[in-house]
Structure 1
């Protein structure tokens, strides 16, 4: 009797703790062994838990106190591949193809996600038809054709507005409602003949339907993504200097709109800085750092992030490589004492890293026999034995053992956060490429032949 009572208490407790479930299915023959669940907070993913994948399926249990909001499932963390969904105190069940997650995801349960997906599909179809009429209006010079296109455009615009209003009404009271309202796009009442005037109107009204004080929106990546689209897609020119000027004005526009909203400012500025670092646009990195990020209140400045950005600047393509020093047979050596080669490859690796164990032999096979390339291989290690075994055949390399591993001053100077990391230098020790892997490294040298 007592044991039955304990079992009953356990079952009641379990049912109270795990009220809702997230169930997903990856439609792929690929080998996925686990997925990671993150909650989006202030436009950044915060880890919740992980789950094993069996036959493409995975499950998470949500407790009653799990906050509602936007969540993210990473199925390939190294490649930053993920799917987002809304959680609002209901079970969620979906399937997706990892090759096209956004276009293939289908929700079988979850009122929130089903209505948002229905809205997205419907409004995209209607907007696409309207856009095609606008493009045709740009191109046509025939008065009769233009008259007919204008008539069709006005009729199609009414359909777009009707679809928007239907879903705004249908989603009232749901989290999805916030995103549906904010997703409404600006379209001129009549088609524009001048593309420049059209673009100016889009830019002027781009944020008309976005409430920057909406906690649901600002806690997700929605507003931040909107900011990045505004800067990087709507403000482009044929000349880099003109593009920089346009994007500075766009950044000023955004920071003025959300002045004092420091969580939003921080999220936007950090995202934009990452994009400029990836693009190798050092002028915009310096501008955004000095004129915006560094004047945020100190509590909103991430010094580890700032240091990483500053390090990325030092190792950007076109920059002189940070010096590397080592001791060889009792003599002090450094990178800038090396000469007589057309190219140098600096690679950071570890003998305990599975990815390095496959990539480094590929590099050695490719480099073997090439006389005008010198490899400086820095092993970030915990102990000597594995490193000695792995580097035993790399006689033509400069092999450096660094037992500080991730605390290595060499790794920090190059901004290394993952291994293997590759840097290709020219004969003057200027960084000319930062390939992601050996295959990309090989393509770079093969294209230069």
Structure 2
């Protein structure tokens, strides 16, 4: 009987644990069909559950094995753009409304309400301080009031919500606040010096969320001298901040370090900071990814670096009239056009003849058409109808060296190079090629 009672109690506990849920309503309903829940961990996202969204509503029953922490609810692709992050503490169900225009509203879950309330209030107060420094640089009552407001909000939320997961974020978000008036230059100097003071880089829940990586990005790309005059100086200062960040997280899990450095690399890419991209990859990200058995990431970044706007194109060779030719030793021209195509591609057979006709009067343009082919029979026939192009062939098609080197995913693919054979543009169609060259 004791065994049966123990089993019954255990079963009851498990059943209770399994009853936790995340539910909500989406608007407009027609735009939402499915929801996938991932737990955010230092080493990436861990799949937990999924469910259909019916008429804009869903209920996601969380398994008993789900751990307390931060969860990502993905509702569309790409998954790194269309998601909602919520705290699931296993103590209360989470309910919310999400509108594409108005955003997220938590309707049940005190912890999530506190989390959003804190960041809303502290951000508004910090914005007041920024606005003050934009218009004034002398102490007054307004400055004193702003400092007091920021201090009070921070202390109040840290004290009231100490036993919550939200508290980890609230405490880690505490930023430098001067005890007495400081001019803008001094304030920014001290703010940078104390940026990492409260960031607990060893907390696995913080590591799993975007919180720490966003903090690192803010430091790397914003904590900069005010008198930067050239792009070279800017990228040098950003690289110094990358180094400081890398040193700060050196004892964290490899997966987290990789995520943090990749995030910085992507921001550098978006801001056309090629030197910073190369610095991050060569000094940190490549080694981290290889240690983490993520060769795919290494390959993707090496491809992106090869094809980056401003980078010199990899070489292409071909034979014409018994003589070997090369892109990199080709005679000087104002522009070069690379066209990756296939003689069995219907789009290519439509676009290339039209392009050939449109470009016949572009005297200072050299064109190289690279056929991705299984054999040369059809290619010879079709390429002969395009005499103004220089023709190279890549046998093996998608598995050919050229397809891999240039990351060709579809045909036709176009690259426009400048006079130094550096990547200048990547048009999507023959019409965009002509438009770019004309303008």
- TM-score, L = length of structure 1: 0.73
Name 2:77's counterpart in structure 1: 77
Displacement of 1:78 in angstroms is 3.1
- 2:252 paired with 1:261: yes
CA apart distance, 1:266: 2.7
CA 1:112 to 1:266, structure 2 compared with 1: closer, same or farther past 3 Å? same
Matched residues in 1 for 2:212 and 2:241: separation?
Answer: 15
The number of residues matched between the two structures is 409
CA contact (8 A) 1:348 1:411 kept: no
Q: 1:418 to 1:158 in 2, by over 3 A?
A: farther
Distance 2:51 2:272 in 1: 37
State the match for 2:89 in structure 1. 88
User: Hey, what does 1:5 align to over in structure 2?
Assistant: none
Q: Quote the Cα distance in structure 2 between the aligned partners of 1:94 and 1:420.
A: 45
| Structure 1: gaps of 5 or more residues | 1-10, 139-145
Deviations 1:122-163 (A, max 9, x none): 22222223332233323xxxxxxx45xx22211221122111
Query: In structure 2, what is the equivalent of residue 239 of structure 1?
Result: 230
Which one has the largest radius of gyration? 2
Structure 1 residues 185-334: aligned runs within 5 Å: 185-193=175-183, 195-235=184-224, 237-263=228-254, 264-293=256-285, 299-300=291-292, 302-323=294-315
* Secondary structure at the counterpart of residue 424 of structure 1: strand
Equivalence map 1:110-189=2 (5 Å): 110-138=109-137, 146=138, 150-189=140-179
- For 1:203 and 1:56, the matched residues in 2 are separated by 44
Is the 8 Å Cα contact of residues 186 and 202 (structure 1) preserved in structure 2? Answer: yes
Query: Which deviates more, 13-22 or 263-272?
Result: 13-22
Q: 1-side partners of 2:170 and 2:127: how far apart? A: 17
Q: Does 1:410 align with 2:402?
A: yes
Shift of 1:105: 0.9
Structure 2 vs 1, CA of residues 212 and 160 (structure 1 numbering), >3 Å: closer, same or farther?
same
CA shift for structure 1 position 416: 5.3
Let me know the Cα RMSD of the aligned residues. Answer: 4.5
Task: Show the 5 A alignment for 1:36-47.
Answer: 36-42=36-42, 44-47=44-47
The farther-off stretch of 363-372 and 316-325 is 363-372
Contact (CA 8 Å) 2:26, 2:98: kept in 1 or not?
yes
Alpha-carbon contact 1:38-1:71 (below 8 Å) kept:
yes
In structure 2, what is the Cα distance between the partners aligned to 1:119 and 1:278? 30
- Contact 1:347–1:376, Cα closer than 8 Å, also in 2: yes
Give, in whole Å, the separation in 2 of the partners of 1:50 and 1:361: 44
Contiguous gaps of at least 5 residues in structure 2: 1-10
- Match of 2:314, SS state, is coil
Q: After superposition, give the CA deviation of every residue in 1:151-189 in whole Å (9 maximum; x if it has no partner).
A: 221122112211112212222221111011111222223
- SS at structure 2 position matched to 1:86: strand
| C-alpha displacement of 1:431 | 1.4
Instruction: Say if 1:277 and 1:309, in contact at 8 Å, map to a contact too.
Output: no
Aligned 8 A contact 1:85 1:113 in 2:
yes
Distance 2:28 2:393 in 1: 42
* Cα separation, 1, equivalents of 2:433 and 2:24: 37
Paired residue secondary structure (1:76): coil
Does the 8 Å CA contact 1:319/1:430 hold for their aligned counterparts?
yes
User: Kindly tell me: are residues 376 and 232 of structure 1, through their superposed partners in 2, closer, same or farther at Cα, counting changes over 3 Å?
Assistant: farther
TM-aligned CA distance change 1:245 to 1:427, over 3 Å: closer
Gap change, CA 1:186 and 1:408, over 3 Å in 2:
farther
Q: Tell whether the 8 Å contact from 2:42 to 2:253 is kept in structure 1 after alignment.
A: no
**Do 1:43 and 1:224's aligned partners in 2 also have CA atoms closer than 8 Å?**
no
Asked if the contact 1:423/1:431 (under 8 Å) is kept, the reply is yes
Pairwise CA distance, 1:227: 0.9
Q: CA deviation at 1:28?
A: 3.5
SS at match of 1:185: coil
Distance 1:162 1:367, change over 3 A: farther
Q: Distance in 2 between matches of 1:217 and 1:183?
A: 11
What corresponds to 2:7 in structure 1?
none
Q: Contact 2:122–2:150 (CA<8 Å) still a contact in 1? A: yes
Cross-structure match for 2:415 = 423
